[in-house]
Amino acid sequence: MDVSEYLRYTATQEKPPNLSVIYLSIISSNLNSYSKFLYEIQVNIENIVKLGASSSFIIEIYLPQLYFVKHPKQLRVTFVRSLHQTQDSDPRSSNVLGALRWGLEKYVILKIATLDPSGFGDFMEAWLTSRDVKVKGSRHKIEFKRFAKRFAMYYPPNVVFGASGVGEAQRSGERVSPVRGAVSVTRLEGRDGFVRLEFSLDPPPITYRILGELGVAPRDVKKALASFLAVVAAMLSPSKAFGGQSPVPLTTNLEDSRRQRVSVETPYEVDLNLVDRIIESYWCKVKNI
């Protein structure tokens, strides 16, 4: 069972989740599967990525229109109005950018589950709390508030795509942007069975600071962002570990996600080891407050 999807489901329920049950029933019995899947992402990346002459990072998604969840005109409207969508409950009902962001979240969640199984309860609590989910047995201490703040600041999907605000401020309509995204869509094309996104890799100074604190040299920041986006794209490709389906489907039926095809053109070399080092550094930094 994919614990990332279970967390997503849990975040939509009214009943507070019991993290110990999640750990005992899911994490402890699926770690080997997660490890195999994370290795498979490296293979997917090697198959879909090529270096290009453009300064933009380009993701192209091919899918027969029959299986595609969004009409091309609907895609254009959704992107223009929701570029900072972060917490969609179902990737198949979100815009494509929301699904891409979920791909990175899924990778980070499964990576931390394999890196630190015994400490994964802390991650789950912070992840759910960031979505205003009250967790059964939550500590509710000042230390945890500090933990949750650092969690949001250094959380890789927030660093790459940005966070649009959480909690009471979000519900009241007040615009709060604790983290600005390092990448932005500069061009979108959509037509029958095809979507092309061009991402600008022109991060703000805060990105250099945050990634610097996670051990990334300034000269490698854009390479790191390109590598994260490559992971995102690979999560849309069909995967043996997911029974031939896509880890992040863009189809109304999971079975149809076998037809998804993704290609990537990047101006920077992709380094999955760099991505993994950043995630590990992020988790160490958040835990050791």
Q: Kindly report, residue by residue over 58-98, the tens digit of the pLDDT.
A: 999 988 766 665 544 444 433 333 333 334 444 444 567 88
Token reading at 246: 């896509």
Three-class secondary structure assignment of 111-159: HHHHHCHHHHHHHHHHHHHCCCCCCECCCCCHHHHHHHHHHHHHCHHHH
> What pLDDT, on the 0 to 100 scale, is given for residue 172?
34
> What pLDDT, on the 0 to 100 scale, is given for residue 78?
39
> CA–CA separation, 212 vs 128, rounded Å?
27
The verdict on pTM exceeding 0.75 is yes
- Burial label for 277, CB within 10 Å (0-12, 13-18, 19+), is middle
- Sort residue 64 into left (φ over 0), alpha (ψ -120 to 50) or beta: beta
Residues in a beta bridge with 258: none
> What pLDDT, on the 0 to 100 scale, is given for residue 168?
31
> What are the mean pLDDT values of the chain's consecutive 10-residue runs (289 residues total)?
83 75 74 87 92 93 70 42 40 68 93 90 85 68 73 92 51 43 85 85 93 96 97 92 86 82 95 97 88
> CA–CA separation, 81 vs 92, rounded Å?
18
Token reading at 182: 């390092």
> What pLDDT, on the 0 to 100 scale, is given for residue 188?
82
Token reading at 26: 């899911």
Q: Which amino acid is at 71?
A: H
Q: Kindly report, residue by residue over 88-143, the tens digit of the pLDDT.
A: 444 444 567 888 888 999 999 999 999 998 888 889 888 888 777 777 665 555 56
Residues sharing a CB contact under 8 Å with residue 139, sequence separation 6 or more, in sequence order: 125
Token reading at 73: 């005109």
> What pLDDT, on the 0 to 100 scale, is given for residue 70?
52
